[in-house]
């Protein structure tokens, strides 16, 4: 983390972090699901070209951006980042990067949901490339070892992966991401045997009407940032296949057990893993730029 530092904007834009925080607080007051949305945006940004806000760039007639790829069609919260950026540009123009806004806003939303507070090293710069063809994110139907390959490629450990997926404690998923587990699992004509029967019934009720609604990934404390997710997957209540596999696969089950029984350990590790993820392939110094509008390259 040598290149990023906590308090990077202390002299160039002293109110930077409080301005971002105010925008997040305002949104959280009316929409508690913004925490899950920002966690997802941050993750999807960092896993493609590093944490450079390339996910925020809009497509043009010449090129289709990351936003248009399948996994990113359900990413939301862009207008919150725009709002924070607009407020920052008024106070200190061309100083605070969109990449740092995503990172700070995600942290602030985690705290509001009851999660750990942690210092975010800042100083990222914004990327100038966003290409739909570069989006290759680990999907919900992968096995633990397949998903881990993506995390390992980014310098993250198995412990980091299991920790970061704990963000699903405030998450939702659209039915099409898990409906294959509810009825004809892998052509068996039956639900996935690794899913609790009561949960199967509940999810069928949510997903049965032909549209594509969302279900909570943590059926217990859906808007609270806690370790309940790990307790649920230990009881066969993982909604997405990858979530359930974390509890069942020997590569990850021990970590799941530790987090399920120790809420403080999870909080501590989550803060550490988020800082580590936020450092993936960052642009610093004179690389990239500070975008004036997060949706458009200067």
Residue ranges of the annotated binding site for substrate are: 138
Q: Is residue 44 among the annotated active site residues?
A: yes
Coil, helix or strand at residue 170 = helix
Which residues are annotated as part of the binding site? 45, 48, 50, 52, 54, 66, 138, 168-169, 218, 221, 226
- Give DSSP secondary structure letters for 4-67: SEETTTTTT-TTHHHHHHHHHHHHHHH-TTHHHHHHHHHHHHHTTTSSSSGGGPPP-SS---GG
Q: How far apart are the first and last CA of the chain?
A: 27
List the catalytic residue out of 44, 49, 181, 231.
44
Residue 23 class from Cβ within 10 Å (0-12 exposed, 13-18 middle, 19+ buried)?
A: buried
Phi-psi category of residue 174: left, alpha or beta, with phi > 0 → left and psi -120 to 50 → alpha: beta
Retrieve residue 212's tokens: 């594509």
Nearest in space to 159 (alpha carbons), one of 66, 277, 286, 17: 277
Q: CB–CB of 48/154 below 8 Å? A: no
Coil, helix or strand at residue 172 = strand
* Distant-in-sequence contacts of 202-207, Cβ < 8 A, 24+ apart: 203/175, 203/178, 203/239, 206/175, 207/175, 207/179, 207/182
DSSP secondary structure code for residue 176 in this structure? G
Coil, helix or strand at residue 72 = helix
Which residues are annotated as part of the binding site for Ca(2+)? 45, 48, 50, 52, 54, 66, 169, 218, 221, 226
All residues at 6 or more sequence positions from 176 whose CB lies less than 8 Å from its CB, including other chains:
212
The residues assigned a catalytic role are 44
């Amino acid at each position: 983390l040598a290149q990023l530092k906590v308090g990077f904007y202390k002299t160039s834009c002293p109110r930077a972090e409080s301005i971002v925080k105010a925008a997040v607080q305002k949104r959280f007051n009316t929409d508690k699901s913004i925490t899950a949305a920002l966690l997802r945006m941050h993750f999807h940004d960092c896993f493609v070209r590093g944490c450079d806000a390339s996910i925020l760039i809009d497509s043009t007639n010449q090129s289709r951006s990351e936003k248009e790829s399948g996994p990113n069609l359900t990413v939301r919260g862009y207008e919150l980042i725009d709002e924070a950026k607009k407020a920052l540009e008024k106070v200190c123009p061309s100083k605070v990067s969109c990449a740092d806004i995503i990172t700070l806003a995600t942290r602030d939303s985690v705290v509001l949901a009851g999660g750990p507070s942690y210092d975010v090293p800042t100083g990222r710069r914004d990327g100038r490339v966003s290409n739909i063809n570069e989006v290759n994110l680990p999907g919900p139907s992968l096995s633990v070892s397949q998903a881990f390959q993506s995390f390992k490629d980014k310098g993250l450990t198995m412990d980091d992966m299991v920790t970061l997926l704990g963000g699903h404690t405030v998450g939702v998923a659209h039915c099409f991401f898990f409906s294959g587990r509810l009825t004809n699992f892998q052509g068996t004509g039956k639900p996935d045997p690794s899913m609790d029967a009561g949960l199967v019934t509940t999810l069928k009720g949510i997903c049965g009407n032909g549209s594509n609604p969302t279900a909570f990934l943590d059926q217990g404390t859906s808007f609270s940032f806690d370790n309940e997710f790990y307790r649920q997957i230990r009881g066969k209540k993982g909604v997405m296949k990858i979530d359930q596999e974390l509890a069942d696969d020997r590569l990850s089950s021990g970590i799941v057990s530790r987090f399920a029984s120790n809420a403080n350990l999870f909080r501590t590790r989550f803060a550490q893993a988020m800082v580590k993820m936020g450092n993936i392939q960052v642009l610093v110094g004179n690389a990239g730029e500070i975008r004036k509008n997060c949706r458009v390259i200067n």
